Amino acid sequence: MTVIADSKKRVVLPPIQPGDRFDVQVEGEILVLTKLVPAKERPRAKVRFDKENGVAETNQPISLAAIKEVLSEFP
């Protein structure tokens, strides 16, 4: 397929839908586009904080593995 850029450096790719996202790798004169597929969105947990008792309640279970995973991101 051959496409031509317009004066604003835009190129139209027929199979692409508006809002599609791409990773662009520049290799000299070659551009490599890789379509990024969004991860499935997880439902957000609802959390309620009880200031009086210092307790948080959530509508989703929290495992020890999940806590360790989140804490591993901290320095």
Residue boundaries of the structural domains of the chain: 45-75
Question: pLDDT value at position 58?
Answer: 83
Predicted confidence (pLDDT) per residue in 12-59, tens digit: 888 888 888 899 999 999 999 998 887 776 677 788 888 888 888 888
pLDDT at 41: 66
Q: Say if residue 75's pLDDT is above 80.
A: no
Asked whether the predicted pLDDT for residue 60 surpasses 80, the reply is: no
Residue 15 burial (CB < 10 Å; 0-12/13-18/19+)? exposed
Q: How far apart are the first and last CA of the chain?
A: 48
